[in-house]
Amino acid sequence: MIVALDAQLTLGTATGIGEYVSGLAEALRENGTPVVELREPKLDPWRFDRRVLWDQVLLPSRARASGAQMLHCASGTMPLSTVLPTVVTVHDVAWLKVQRHARAYARYYFGSFALKRYAGAHAIAVDSEFSRRELLDVMPAAPKIHVVYNGVAADYCNVERQYPSDVILVPGTVERRKNLEVLIRALPLIGSRVRIISAGPFTPYRDECLRLAESLGVRDRVEFRGYIGRAALLDLYAKCALVAVPSRYEGFGYAAAQALCAGVPVVVSDQSSLPEIAGGDAQVLPADDPSAWAAAIGAILNDPPAAQAHADSVRARSIERFSWQRAAIQMLSVYKQALLS
């Protein structure tokens, strides 16, 4: 079986979905499954009109010409029609639940329009039990849904931790649902040496966070680095005191899984998929309680050896839970069932 894989979001400033597609493609090949990655470098995947052109025109055309027997729409969107049996990964339904501030045309395309396309899929994969429940909430008659946890790449699993700094690392796009503000509100309650480094693309929410930090007198303790290269991000995972994931909505929570596999102390919010991904191996905190975040972060910073010992103790288990090899085997089972449907 040859699989055609939508890899358009691996281009440019690839974030969680790009990481997912790259990791899955490599793991499928290692498992002996030929994969044809479909992408068009001349199209910016982050421009809405270019994304629609790719999804609805170029992707089905390239899939038809690929020689594949299966199309995997791995980025959460599907063409109106395709001649190949199709599996779609629905990472979350954020566009229907928490992206109400976004432009109406984007909400429609990535929300209700995408939802109608899922009915034509031969199978649906989701990143977590949380995402399965969320999809069923908006699409009770969804085709067969398979939970397949994302894998974490080997370079995160092989991070060599160094003596930690006083940095709280917050990986991911700076957008409202990521809830960076709770950490900014916690900063005045933590020692003055502690600072936040945000590593991810900006949205207008960054300006709100800057104004909040200014009003609380902690502007010099909040650094926005924007999208950074992989080597720089891995260096931050090696050196930070902890990773914080205070999001209100995550279909999977890559930052948390990567931190667990990298042996980094991590704290997550009690919202969406994050308690599931933490799996009892990370502290889970109320999403909107700055004092709780301050106390948990302070405990890690006040006793780095104990925090690191715990992170080390759960690392091997996390690497096994978020193995790309396991994910590839499960996804192959999804493909085979889809071909028989």
Spans of all domains in the chain:
3-151+323-340, 154-321
Q: Alpha carbon 161 to chain centroid distance?
A: 22
Written as six digits, the tokens of 308 are 């690191």
* Contact status, residue 71 vs residue 108, Cβ threshold 8 Å: no
Which of 204, 167, 155, 185 minimizes the C-alpha distance to 300? 167
3-151+323-340 and 154-321: same fold? yes
CA dist 306 to 39, 99, 241, Å? 45, 39, 12
pLDDT in tens, the chain (341 residues): 999 999 999 998 878 899 999 999 999 999 999 999 999 999 999 899 999 999 999 999 999 999 999 999 999 999 998 889 999 999 999 999 998 778 999 999 999 999 999 999 999 999 999 999 999 999 998 888 999 999 999 999 999 999 778 999 999 999 999 999 999 999 999 988 999 999 999 999 999 999 999 999 999 999 999 999 999 999 999 999 999 999 999 999 999 999 999 999 999 999 999 999 999 999 999 999 999 999 999 999 999 999 999 999 999 999 999 999 999 999 999 999 999 87
The amino acid at 170: V
Residue 14: the pLDDT is 77
Report the alpha-carbon distance of residue 204 to residue 192 in Å, rounded: 27
Residue 230: the pLDDT is 93
pTM for this predicted structure: 0.94
Please provide the distance, in angstroms rounded to a whole number, between the alpha carbons at the two ends of the chain.
16
* Category of 86 on φ-ψ map: left (φ > 0), alpha (ψ -120 to 50) or beta: beta
The amino acid at 317: R
CATH topology assigned to domain 3-151+323-340: Rossmann fold (3.40.50)
Residue 253: the pLDDT is 93
Residue 238: the pLDDT is 97
Report the alpha-carbon distance of residue 261 to residue 158 in Å, rounded: 8
Residue 102: the pLDDT is 84
Q: Which CATH class is domain 154-321?
A: alpha beta
Write the DSSP assignment of 245-279 as a string of letters: E--S--SS-HHHHHHHHHT--EEEESSTTHHHHHT
Task: Please give the backbone phi and psi of residue 243, each rounded to the nearest 5 degrees, phi first.
Answer: -105, 135
Residue 141: the pLDDT is 87
Kind plus residue range of the DSSP H or E element containing 224: strand 222-224
Written as six digits, the tokens of 34 are 């030929």
Residue 236: the pLDDT is 97
Which of 16, 8, 331, 29 minimizes the C-alpha distance to 152? 16
